[in-house]
Amino acid sequence: MAASPRLDPEMQNLDDIDAESRRRGNVPFTSIYSFPWWLLFLIILGIMVVVLISRNQDYTDIFNQLRAGIGLTIYLALASYALALVIGLLTGMIRSVRPKPPERGMPLGRSILRVVHLIVYNLITFYIEIMRGLPTLVFLLVAGFIIVPAIVGFINESIVVFLRDLFNNPDIPDLVWRGRDAGTAIAGLALVYGAFLSEIFRAGIQSVERGQVEAARSLGMTYAQVMRYVVIPQAVRRILPPLGNDFVAMIKDTSLVTILGTQEITQLARRWSGSTFQYLETYLVLCMIYLTMTISGSLLVQLMERYLRQHERN
């Protein structure tokens, strides 16, 4: 192993003096180095785009066209992430406990539960590895053009036909669910992000000290009670920052559903730029809309992290 290079004593002394000066606040213009210049530049750029939108008719028309998709984009992000949280929490709880073989003399019911846990554990692991291994865009294509048509066809050819015969009512309509519908985008994004959130929840649950779990079980609490009152509250608090970062990533990944034809802002921008050939103007406005949403989310995540750090010190 190579020895680390020795520092020049004079330079090391200067570094110590500089660190001591910064600690005492004697170094001038320290605020220049701590000021978030990147945010100032983005704000200036945003103001320039806002001025263009308000004074230039072309930019005004572009923003009016894209504005209709902002609500759908936010809805896709919120709905997909809420469903992904449920999937991630349930699968993370199951994955946090590795399967154990039945023990000699164990009651039959508990032995069956361990076998069921083994099966469910491996099925969930298979789902997680598939979702994490496939690109999100590829899975959205599979969901929109393969999975959804297969499900709709099965429902219309079996369940709907059965209901018509059961109630003797041929007017029961077929299920209409197209691959470009918002439901397809929500289900696809939720399944993909649910796999990633599952690993975050699993890591958070396993980070809780085992002694707390054993103490709760010694008090007579069931496994469900231990998870609800002891483990989950602490785990969620520890993983809030990565959960917030994943929500910001979800906002950006809503742009991928444009491949399905869902009418969110990226799809509207593609249609408008293709019909007017105003590619620079259209995508500049589109970038500013996404930056506004994602940077706002990132700042909220940073505030949350700062609050959690201060709360832990107190």
pLDDT tens digits, residue range 170-223? Answer: 888 888 888 788 889 999 999 999 999 999 999 999 888 888 888 888 888 887
Residue 211 lies in a domain: yes
Helices (H), 135-181: 136-142, 148-154, 160-167
User: pLDDT-based confidence at 14, cuts 50/70/90?
Assistant: very low
The pLDDT of residue 26 is above 60: no
Instruction: In whole angstroms, give the CA distance from residue 100 to residue 221.
Output: 21
> What range does the domain containing 146 cover?
76-259
User: pLDDT at position 178, please?
Assistant: 80
The pLDDT of residue 299 is above 70: yes
User: pLDDT at position 11, please?
Assistant: 44
The pLDDT of residue 237 is above 70: yes
Residue 197 lies in a domain: yes
User: pLDDT at position 60, please?
Assistant: 92
DSSP 67-86: HHHHHHHHHHHHHHHHHHHH
User: pLDDT-based confidence at 126, cuts 50/70/90?
Assistant: very high
Instruction: In whole angstroms, give the CA distance from residue 283 to residue 273.
Output: 8
Over range 298-308, report the average pLDDT. 82
User: pLDDT-based confidence at 2, cuts 50/70/90?
Assistant: very low
What DSSP designation does 104 have?
A: T
Listed residue (294, 289, 278) closest to 49, CA to CA: 289
Of the chain, the percentage scoring pLDDT greater than 70 comes to 89
Residue 305 lies in a domain: no
Q: How many domains does the chain have?
A: 1
User: pLDDT at position 6, please?
Assistant: 45
Which of residues 286 and 39 earns the better pLDDT score? Answer: 286
User: pLDDT at position 16, please?
Assistant: 53
Tokens describing residue 313? 């010190």
Residue 45 lies in a domain: no
The pLDDT of residue 87 is above 80: yes
Residue 1 lies in a domain: no
User: pLDDT-based confidence at 121, cuts 50/70/90?
Assistant: very high
The pLDDT of residue 314 is above 80: no
Which of residues 66 and 15 earns the better pLDDT score? Answer: 66
What is the overall mean pLDDT for the chain?
85
Instruction: In whole angstroms, give the CA distance from residue 127 to residue 198.
Output: 11
Residue 140 lies in a domain: yes
User: pLDDT at position 17, please?
Assistant: 46
Identify the CATH number of the domain in which residue 146 sits: 1.10.3720.10
Residue 27 lies in a domain: no
Residue 49 lies in a domain: no
